[in-house]
Chains A and B, each alone.
Chain A
Amino acid sequence: DVKVTQSSRYLVKRTGEKVFLECVQDMDHENMFWYRQDPGLGLRLIYFSYDVKMKEKGDIPEGYSVSREKKERFSLILESASTNQTSMYLCASSLPDLLTYNEQFFGPGTRLTVL
């Protein structure tokens, strides 16, 4: 079974803090994704990566950056956390597919609260 793990289930940070969200997958997947989920808005793609050191902006990259130094690990970074970044963050991975990002396997999510 594919396993996608995220470093924290719950996280509380203060405005202006630097926040790291870590995601690790154990199935040697090339593609990895970071989403945020907000009520009524569904999932929105922040960044994705299709290979080590490669990254692409998703729909809402502002205020975020990512790092993919190793194939199994994809980190989401909030350089200076703000209250509007309070959300549920979901990481996913999938096999490579040039045209679509289907059959994604999701981690359990990290619920981040920024005070």
Chain B
Amino acid sequence: SQELEQSPQSLIVQEGKNLTINCTSSKTLYGLYWYKQKYGEGLIFLMMLQKGGEEKSHEKITAKLDEKKQQSSLHITASQPSHAGIYLCGADIQDNYGQNFVFGPGTRLSVLP
């Protein structure tokens, strides 16, 4: 099983709708990162969260970190076709071998015009 789980696996929304993507860790989190990948292209770093309760925003995208639940949520307000792509969370975690950096499986977002 993967250390980072993302839900939903894929999402289709109509333009203008709000949506939320979740990232949950089975290990202790020390830092949580959100990336976006446009289909067939490289990754774009969106934001990084380090402290419990921390919330960051970039344009219409807001991310929060819930340290107790070992979970982060990415919320997009009034989605646009330009938001379409694959959203990946990455995290610094503590596992049996020490600190490690892992990625989630990704959430594929489609925005219908």
Contact = CB atoms under 8 A, between A and B. Distances in A.
Interface of A: 4, 40-44, 88, 90, 92, 99-109, 111
Contacts of B42: 4, 90, 106-109
Main secondary structure, interface of B, reads strand
A100 B99 contact: yes
Nearest to A38: B105
B92 A111 contact: no
A43 B105 CA distance: 7
Q: 7 closest Cβ contacts across the A-B interface? A: A106-B43, A42-B105, A43-B103, A108-B42, A106-B42, A101-B101, A100-B92
A10 to B, nearest CB: 9
Interface of B: 2, 4, 9, 30-31, 33, 35, 40-45, 48, 88, 90, 92, 99, 101, 103-106
Contacts of A4: 42
Contacts of B92: 99-100, 102
Contacts of B99: 99-100
Nearest to A107: B42
Contact of A100 (B2, B30, B88): B30
Given A41-B105, A42-B2, A42-B88, A102 B43 contact: no
B31 A100 contact: yes
A106 B4 CA distance: 20
Nearest to A98: B99
A107 B44 CA distance: 9
**Most chain B CB atoms below 10 A, which of A40, A41, A42, A106:** A42
Given A42-B4, A100-B30, 19 more contacts: A4-B42, A40-B105, A42-B88, A42-B103, A43-B88, A43-B90, A43-B103, A99-B92, A100-B31, A100-B101, A102-B33, A102-B90, A104-B45, A106-B42, A107-B42, A109-B40, A109-B41, A109-B42, A111-B40
